[in-house]
Amino acid sequence: MVQGAGNGAVTLLSVALILAWAVLLWGRSWFWRIEPDLPLPEPAAWPSVAVVIPARDEAEGIGQTVRSLLAQDYPGPLSVRVVDDHSGDGTADLARAAANGDPRFGVLTGADLPGGWTGKVWAMDQGVSASEGDYVLFTDGDIAHAPGQLRALVARAVAEGRALVSLMVRLHCETLAERAMIPAFVYFFRMLYPFAEIADPGRRTAGAAGGVMLVERAALAEIGGMAALKDALIDDCTLAAKLKARGKRLWLGLAEETRSLRVYSGWGELWNMIARSAYDQLRRSPALLLGSVAAMGLIFVAAPILAVRGYGAGLLAWGAMAFSFAPMVRFYRLSPWWAAALPAVAVFYLGALLHSAIRYHLGTGGRWKGRIEAGRSAA
């Protein structure tokens, strides 16, 4: 009797697992596929672009970031401004040295953080207020920009009438911890925010990658400027959601050449990177947290457990998982064997997600470079 009930439970679990992977592979807008972006026609007149770099203790990368932006192959008017957010490592001086007197460049010393604002958004707001341009390019201070990146982003924004175009840059992926976690980080993000749905004006899905975001200034003003997301911990997706709610068109893509300079040398740094905002992605909802843990347990953890116990459904689901993860593994130029390791990686992410929720309820969530930011979750 007990054995029969156990077999019945395994059968139900197997059916649920197969159905879940069928939906993910064919019913989630092909989130796992990576296709090249086709070039778009260039505008007859290039709009002006103001680059805003909110920078807090970015000494390691700010020089390369500034140099790569000033070297952009962009035909239109361009300005670059670093907003130094109370750095203690000489970020501002290193940025000036990298600019080497270029008249298009300037540094703004950030004002004290007012109540109700998160630090990065406050710095972004100051950069917008102190600059002019038809478009604003927000970018982090640890990114090396490919020479033709801005040109391609503006061409897409103008040709397709998009108020926000952004890039998920190629993240650093060389240490053992990075090889294990970084491709999965991008894979999970694309699962949560399918890029095709973001670009589809008929779908509610809205997302962006804060490392590189080109936004139309008029559209930004229409939603109330940066003040509309002043307390957002996840500023990129909050901005995307507010723009799409006003009927604006979005686009998010993967960058082939533009890359992050930030190195995650150990597992702890990656754990904290995930835990910093994972619970906010779930809108700080205990119900969504429990649902996410149950869903990830079914989709990613149950498959290998069933497979090693000899159940074909588990092996089939594990194969589907590896198949869907393989394009991202190839994108990061890793051995294909990493695709089979996704269940173990998912357990790591589940732990970081639970820790994110615990940190929030203990009042220590949102920690970033010595500052705890108790902003709100993504819209």
What confidence tens digit (pLDDT) does each residue in 269-325 have? Answer: 999 999 888 888 888 889 999 999 999 999 999 999 999 999 999 999 999 999 999
State mean pLDDT over 2-27.
84
User: Do residues 255 and 275 both lie within one domain?
Assistant: no
Domain final residue pick, 210, 231, 264: 264
pLDDT at 368: 55
Q: Is residue 41 part of a domain?
A: no
Asked whether residue 2 is assigned to any structural domain, the reply reads: no
pLDDT digits over 75-88, tens only? 999 999 999 999 99
Under the banding of pLDDT at 50, 70 and 90, the label for residue 373 is low
Pair 216, 302 in one domain: no
Instruction: Examine the domain organization and report whether 337 and 238 are in the same domain.
Output: no
The rounded distance, in Å, linking the Cα atoms of 159 and 144 is 25
Query: Are residues 330 and 213 part of one domain?
Result: no
CA distance 170 to 213: 14
Residue 371: pLDDT over 90: no
SS3 78: strand
CA distances from 75 to 49, 244, 330 (A): 10, 29, 34
Residue 212 lies in a domain: yes
- Domain end position, chosen among 231, 246, 264: 264
Taking 60 as the threshold, does the pLDDT of residue 358 lie above it?
yes
Is residue 310 one of the residues assigned to a domain? yes
Indicate if the pLDDT at residue 357 is higher than 70: yes
Per the structure, the count of domains in the chain is 2
For a pLDDT cut of 90, what percent of the chain falls above it?
87
Please state, in angstroms and as integers, the Cα–Cα distance from residue 346 to each residue in 20, 262, 290, 338, following that order: 16, 22, 15, 13
- Percent of the chain with pLDDT strictly greater than 70: 94
Q: Which two tokens stand for residue 378?
A: 């993504």
Q: Are 248 and 286 within one domain? A: no
1 band by pLDDT with thresholds 50, 70 and 90 = very low
Do 178 and 147 fall within a single domain?
A: yes
pLDDT score of 279 = 86
Name which residue leads in pLDDT, 29 or 3: 29
Q: For residue 2, is pLDDT > 50?
A: no
CA 67 to chain centre: 23
Instruction: Classify residue 38 as exposed, middle or buried by CB count within 10 Å of its CB (0-12, 13-18, 19+).
Output: exposed
Q: Are residue 137 and residue 83 in the same domain, yes or no?
A: yes
Q: Is 69 part of a structural domain of the chain? A: yes
pLDDT one-digit tens code per residue, 97-153? 999 999 999 999 999 999 999 999 999 999 999 999 999 999 999 999 999 999 999
In a domain, 1, yes or no: no
- Alpha carbon 325 to chain centroid distance? 17
Residues 356 and 255 in one domain: no
Q: Show the domain range for 119.
A: 49-264
- Strand ordering across the sheet containing 135-139: 105-109, 78-84, 49-55, 135-139, 212-216, 164-170, 250-260, 143-144
Residue 180 sits in a domain of what CATH number? Answer: 3.90.550.10
Per residue in 214-247, pLDDT (tens digit) is 999 999 999 999 999 999 989 999 999 999 999 9
How confident is the model at residue 376, as a pLDDT?
A: 52
Residue 70 sits in the same domain as residue 149: yes
- pLDDT at residue 375 is higher than 80: no
Q: Are residues 256 and 343 in the same domain?
A: no
Helix (H) or strand (E) holding 83: strand 78-84
Judgement on whether residues 57 and 204 belong to the same structural domain of the protein: yes
Look at residue 379 and tell me if it is in a domain: no
Tell which of 214, 235, 264 closes a domain. 264
Same domain, residue pair 256 and 288: no
| pLDDT reported for residue 8 | 79
Alpha-carbon span 318 to 303, nearest angstrom: 5
pTM over 0.75: yes
Q: What is the pLDDT of residue 366?
A: 56
Residue position matching structure tokens 């770099």: 53
Residue 6 lies in a domain: no
Average pLDDT over residues 53-57: 96
Average pLDDT of the chain is 93
